[in-house]
Every structure is written in structure tokens, then in C-alpha cells.
Amino acid sequence: MATVYFMQRILEMTDAGRDQDHLDMLVWNHASIPDRTAYIVGDSDQSPGPVMAEDARALERAGATFIAIPCNTARAFLDEVQQAVAIDVLDIVAETVSAAQEAVPDLTTMGILATDGTLRSRIYHDTASARGIKPVEPDDVVQKDVMSMIYDGVKAGMPVSRDRFDAAVEHLRGKGAQAVVLGCTELSILQTDLEVDEPDVIDSLDALAARTVTLAGGRLR
């Protein structure tokens, strides 16, 4: 689902008046890849890293000049994927933190809504801390509901109420977050479905899509 939505956002963000103004894209939608979160938290011994690396090599052989992976949890395997190819693999976390800094000048505290795997890998924590930004994450009860929204809601094709989404965001604001990043692309889909449009809620998929358009030589709307 996130891959389809990512392509849609690229199309919507590209300033194009004709077909030829849009980006050429090679799409590798590998739905059966081992679950990233399950491996990171120790619930599975199947690492997605080697599979992702082979997928990257296939894209490189097919002619890709860079790779964008619309999955935050997969960022934990970025080094392994990057080492497998000579072309650049974009860093969704770095792009998202940069977008948060652009949206909130002098950002000092950033909230993270993400999977258990993303939080456990500390990819957002480390990137934010390296820029002098304090990362905050949900308490256990709220995080359990975030995971439910992702897995039992979006991934399962079931509805999620706006109240649940807002409660998670407000929880992080209450912990001092000046910006809240949606560090899971399923939350990006949910944000769109719920028509959430708040300047301090930063969509990781949008951040990656914008960078993809510009790096591919397109013009942003």
C-alpha cells in the first residue's frame, strides 16, 4: 500500500503539464519481504537486509540511478543495502528530520510516531540527536495503540478513527514535541485518509517523495 501511495504522491508533487514532464520510475513492490519490525524486535530470525540488498541490485541492473525506499523501518538496513550497490539509496529518516526542521524553525524537541522496530532501532533518535534535537516517543500504552493503528488498521484495511490518531499526536505534544513525525508510511496513508493537515505533523513519505522528485530532475509543484 505504501508503495502505491508513494507513487501517487510523486505524481501529485511533480509540476507536469504533459506525460513527458513526469518522472521515469522503476517500481519493485516486494510484498513478501520478511517483516522488518519482527526481525528487529527479535520475533523473527529472517533478516530482510539480504533480500533488500538483492532487490537493490536488481533495480541497479535495470537502470535505476538512485533508490528510494518508502518504509521507515527498512532504514535500519540502509547501510547493508547501500553497500550492495554503487548508486545512492535515499535516507527517509534524514529527509524527514530535515522537513521537520524546515517546518519548525529552531526545532529542539521532536516526537516520533513509528513502529516498535523503528523505535527499537533508534534511527530517528540518533538522527535527531546528531542535529541537537531531543527525540521523544510515546509511552507504552500509547505506542501499543500506534502499532494497532498500523497493523490492525491500515495494513489490514480496517478503519481507524481520527480521535485515536489525534490522541497519539497530542500525547507527544504534551511531552514537549514541537513537531511530530509520522515515521511509518502506513501513518502517512492514515493521515491522508483522515484529512489531517497540521503544519507540525511531518509526513515521512512526503519528505521522501519531494526529495525523489528533485533528485530525479523534476520540478515540485
Q: Is 215 assigned a catalytic role?
A: no
Instruction: Supply φ then ψ for residue 111, to 5 degrees.
Output: -90, 150
Grid coordinates representing 209 are 517523495
Within 13 Å, how many C-alpha atoms sit on residue 102's CB side?
A: 9
CA proximity to 6, closest of 183, 216, 210: 210
Catalytic pick from 71, 81, 149, 160?
71
65-95 core/surface letters (b: 16 or more CB in 10 A; e: else):
eebbbbbbbbbbbbebbbebbeeebbbbbbb
First to last CA, the chain: 24
Q: Is 184 assigned a catalytic role?
A: yes
Distance separating alpha carbons of residues 197 and 165, to the nearest angstrom: 12
Catalytic pick from 169, 184, 207, 209?
184
Q: Which residues are catalytic?
A: 71, 184
